[in-house]
Amino acid sequence: MMKTENILVIGGTGKTGRRVAENLIQEGHNVRVVGRNTSPAFDWENPGTYDAALKDMDRAYIVYYPDLAVPGSREAITTLTEKALQAGLEKVVLLSGKGETEAEACEDIVANSGLNYTLVRASWFNQNFSEGAFLEFVLNGQVALPMPEAEIPFVDADDIADVVAKVLVDDRFNGETITVTGPRKMTFGEVVAAMAEGIGKDIHFHPITIEEFKAGMKQAGLPDSYVWLFGYLFQEVLGNPDNQEISHDVEKVLGRPATDFNTYVEKTVATGIWNQDLSHTV
């Protein structure tokens, strides 16, 4: 029988953290989910909150927010891993971005921290269209995004969570970098067509430039750092075809194939998330 571990899930209310916590609880582990509104609270911006979150934990899933590519991430990850070592943690799993060279400095910090670790590099998530930045576009039936030619091996957050929950407690993956993608590459146009078909509603894809997308974000009042981040992710991650290769690591770790986008659409339709009507909101 597997040992019961005390596992910290940072970002445990988000797309992957929530699923990781559910999986670990189901496996019988003791899970502490933290974010800015939990008790104890954990705020990346306030290192004074790190100790209480780490206290008495054996392992941790680390989700940095908004992205390991933003300024300040290195200092935060350095402080967290130092404190984790002091607190006696054995192992951490860091969520990173596939093709994000800017995130590699943080990966190196974790790798050199003295803790056991596994790095999980994820492609763009399917759930960006149902729980993230692009949900509103889908609800409005108008998806305006740049990089229409990019072929993206979108990955399902359920697959990421299954992989993370497994490698967190399985020391055979110590020191490894696991790259998680979906089973096929899709353009934004293909993704939108698949959602339109599955939901049974008209959803239109409008290719725009990165500058137009950023201008729209600015107009919506989003902070400059966020606007910069999206520009970076479109340009550097989606703009480089080398980043788009399919990985078979989901199958390697889980012994089952990665989830297809059409399966994601089917299960998301069943949740009702896409039934919200935005026309009555102000």
Minimum Å gap between C-beta 35 and ligand NAP is: 3
Residues 276 and 141: beta-carbon distance below 8 Å:
no
Q: What is the DSSP string of 252-274?
A: HHHSSPPPPHHHHHHHHHHHTGG
Residues 166 and 253: beta-carbon distance below 8 Å:
yes
Residues 123 and 180: beta-carbon distance below 8 Å:
yes
Question: Cβ closer to ligand NAP: 153 or 198?
Answer: 153
Q: Is 146 in the site for ligand NAP (CB under 6 A)?
A: no
Task: Give CA–CA dist 106/96, Å, rounded.
Answer: 9
Q: Is 32 in the site for ligand NAP (CB under 6 A)?
A: no
Q: Which residue is at the shortest CB distance from ligand NAP?
A: 14
Closest of 186, 185, 188, 216 to residue 203, by C-alpha: 188
Q: Is 226 in the site for ligand NAP (CB under 6 A)?
A: no
* Candidate ranges 40-48, 83-91, 178-186, 212-220; the one touching ligand NAP (CB under 6 A): 40-48
Residues 171 and 179: beta-carbon distance below 8 Å:
no
Question: Cβ closer to ligand NAP: 123 or 279?
Answer: 123
Total number of residues shown for the chain: 282
Minimum Å gap between C-beta 57 and ligand NAP is: 16
Q: Is 67 in the site for ligand NAP (CB under 6 A)?
A: yes
Given 7, 93, 94, 97, the residue binding ligand NAP (CB under 6 A):
97
Given 128, 142, 187, 263, the residue binding ligand NAP (CB under 6 A):
128
Q: Is 64 in the site for ligand NAP (CB under 6 A)?
A: yes
